[in-house]
């Protein structure tokens, strides 16, 4: 009987912790969206330079990490994939050469040990390829 009570208490603790994690992830996503609403990571009209392209790739990588922390695709979809899918490629510094971005994302995948990050990079690549 005591074992069942302990097991029930453990299950209850797991459930409460899972709920708290979900709430914290939502708060995290809200903060990321709030930040990017004030500090858009991709501003159209920037000069096409290696430095600006590297910033774009760094921003994509950062957004991928934020999405992983949040536990879903919402952040990456909102700030990278949906704008590209909607034809807003001018947000990228070298928007006339999307193959450059695809190549740089492939380099990130090659040097990246985590499957989830590579999956997210592939989603960005797919969106870019559809705009070629």
**Which percentage of the chain shows pLDDT scores above 90?**
83
Instruction: Express each pLDDT in 10-28 by its tens digit.
Output: 889 889 999 999 999 999 9
Instruction: Band the pLDDT of 1: cuts 50, 70, 90.
Output: low
User: Would the pTM count as exceeding 0.85?
Assistant: yes
Contact 41, 59 (CB under 8 A): yes
What's the domain range around 33? 2-130
88-114 average pLDDT score: 92
**Domains: count for the chain:** 1
């Amino acid at each position: 009987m005591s074992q069942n009570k302990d097991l029930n208490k453990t299950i209850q603790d797991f459930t409460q912790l899972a709920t708290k994690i979900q709430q914290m992830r939502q708060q995290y996503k809200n903060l990321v969206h709030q930040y990017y609403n004030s500090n858009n990571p991709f501003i159209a009209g920037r000069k096409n330079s290696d430095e600006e392209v590297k910033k774009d790739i760094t921003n994509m990588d950062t957004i991928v990490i934020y999405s992983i922390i949040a536990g879903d695709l919402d952040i990456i979809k909102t700030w990278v994939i949906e704008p590209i899918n909607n034809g807003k490629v001018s947000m990228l510094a070298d928007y006339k050469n999307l193959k450059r971005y695809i190549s740089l994302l492939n380099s990130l995948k090659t040097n990246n040990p985590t499957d989830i990050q590579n999956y997210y990079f592939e989603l960005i690549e797919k969106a870019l390829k559809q705009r070629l």
